[in-house]
Chain A
């Protein structure tokens, strides 16, 4: 009779051992933290403990965002070209006075810092058309993608794909398309037309800067609006349909009002993004021809960093003006959003 080999105790599976190790490390960490936090909690009370948990994030925010913002604010009141704040002479509001020294604010040629005002007007035009275009096209696309169409998943990916591209790549690709001997002109010539100097004419260059920016960012906002559309209960449309509402009336009286909070988020995000636009327009046109596509952020960059004499004070003052404008616009939008009558 064959003897049976002794059965060894089966070892624990790897996942179980890893889980055990993780639990051990976690407990060790928690117990160590407990040594500090428990007496602290007894001292300050449970409610105030939240501030201690927020502290790491607040520190990061303070060091990398708040402190540079305050520093920028200080720089706006200094002059000279020295880099370190302690070496920079205080000049009061001189930089702001230079920026706002204008004979006629509607004519940049009458301003001391004409490039700043050209940047302001170009940025204003850019925002107006880019934000409006982005929201409209994103809404139309989201409505289309919300319907039961064939290859819906594919189309959703296609519209989102440009968002994944680096702005520099986007600009370079479009530059190859739009330049004098680019793809679009090759197509026009192939069809028997005349080539168009898309990037050599001020109005064409601004137009294409807006188009490229809408193309590059629309997918992100489409996704947000799509999520908003999908959160509207189907029953509301059923009820509307019973009351005789057609496609247009459903859209006008149901979809739009219910989508308004999401639209507001999209609008604020698109506005902030549009004001901050720099890289893709800079690579596409360099701010030209002349200063036709010079945006305010490029003005700040050029004044502060790209010139031989780096006027950090003037650049900082311009960014304070930009930041203040952005803050006012955002607050205004939020205020308008709140005053929207609920359904």
Chain B
């Protein structure tokens, strides 16, 4: 009797296992990071995709931005152990690992029309590949705490305002309200827009990175002076060692008047600040060469080493469709990296006037971006430039280097790094 029961149980288990194996969908892994609520929105969209496509299942691995996306992912990709898809910001630097979706997507023309301006950032040189889609277009720019301005009785400036004027106004407000005047994310990317506004060219006539010009030096000098006289909160640049650091915490806690960051903070501010105080996105301050921020953003790309390129393309092609894109941007409060939506406008899901105004300000800033800013963003080794500017400039603040020495070090760091990357190619 027990033998019969054993045989029947084994048979049932065997059949169940074979049936389950036959029904198992293809599992795709996506490495992702969050600035705000986009991971949650993405999951909702993927759930809908999976319901319509039961043969594919997408596992989203959410990792920290710095250690997961900037440090671990490049190593995984180089060793051939990467995910099937990933959300990345080092678009040019990692482009050799991206899957070309062109042979798999339903309508490459739709992709060229709607993602064309950004595809160049993520394509290897000379390629016409379709590596992925932007999950947000970002623009750097400042936020100010308007409530502190009101409390200090200082009017917000109108029209073009220089960096020096903003610094002076912020100092007045900070003095009256016992706060800190300014803070900037500890990032060379954030500093690049102001430097270009001051006249930095970033590239020489041959198109190679060149950091020693008057405009660049002027912005570095301003940052040095502001750290020396207490205009800039030191905690972020001086107190964060050799890594990227954001100043959003200090702004959210109303400790600073002026915060230089970018459009990706909007959804977070809408959530964390709410109506605790009036926060306003203001146009990028000006210098002699313009009033520009830096473009940027994150892209969702397929990874070339995937064993399921067709399935990866199906997922990304679904996420690229206009209705899905429209919902994604409406719920995440990001500036769309989709030309059609940028032209027709996104109906953002927010009742907050502050949020809507901030989105409008940053959308307007897109049109004012300098061509140098686009070139720098498209340069495949731009992170080398951004990182050395960030770290060497901090050494000036702490007295380890003079500004002259720091600029010479920045240039040699970039030259050595690029030469090393090109060795053996």
Interface residue ranges, A against B (CB under 8 Å): 79-84, 87-89, 109, 114, 118, 179-180, 197, 199-200, 202, 282, 285-294, 298, 302, 305-311
Contact = CB atoms under 8 A, between A and B. Distances in A.
B401 A109 contact: yes
Contact of A308 (B90, B395, B401): B90
B228 to A, nearest CB: 13
B421 A286 contact: no
Nearest to B66: A306
B194 to A, nearest CB: 21
B71 A89 contact: no
Interface in B76-127: 78-79, 90, 93
15 contacts: A82-B424, A89-B424, A109-B405, A200-B234, A288-B241, A288-B242, A289-B398, A294-B241, A298-B242, A305-B75, A306-B242, A306-B243, A308-B90, A309-B417, A310-B75
Interface of A is mostly: loop
Contact of B417 (A84, A292, A307): A307
B343 interface: no
A302 B242 CA distance: 9
Given A88-B424, A197-B234, A287-B241, A202 B418 contact: no
A202 B79 contact: no
A200 B242 contact: no
Contacts of B395: 290-291
B178 interface: no
B420 A114 contact: no
B238 A200 contact: yes
Contact of B420 (A81, A118, A291, A294): A81
Interface in B302-353: none
Contacts of A290: 238, 394-395, 397-400
A307 B78 contact: no
Nearest to A294: B242
Interface in B355-402: 381, 383-384, 387, 394-395, 397-401
B232 to A, nearest CB: 12
A174 to B, nearest CB: 14
Interface string B229-267: 000001100111111000000000000000000000000
A308 B93 contact: yes
A79 B424 contact: yes
Contact of B423 (A79, A202, A288, A310): A79
Given A286-B240, A310-B74, A292 B387 contact: no
Contact of A309 (B242, B420, B424): B420
B409 interface: yes
Given A87-B424, A292-B398, A286 B242 contact: yes
A83 B242 contact: no
Given A305-B75, A308-B90, A80 B241 contact: no
Nearest to B243: A286
Contacts of B239: 179-180, 197, 199-200, 288-289
A288 B398 CA distance: 9
A307 B384 contact: yes
A311 B387 CA distance: 15
B199 to A, nearest CB: 26
A287 B235 contact: no
Contacts of A286: 240-243
Given A82-B424, A289-B398, 15 more contacts: A81-B421, A180-B235, A197-B239, A286-B242, A287-B242, A288-B238, A289-B239, A289-B394, A290-B397, A306-B70, A307-B384, A308-B383, A308-B384, A308-B417, A309-B418
A109 to B, nearest CB: 6
Contact of A83 (B71, B79, B394): B79
Contacts of A84: 79
A311 B420 contact: yes
Given A180-B235, A286-B241, A309 B421 contact: yes
Contacts of B243: 286, 306
Contacts of B401: 109
Contacts of A285: 241
Interface string B210-243: 0000000000000000000000001100111111
Interface in B408-425: 409, 417-418, 420-421, 423-425
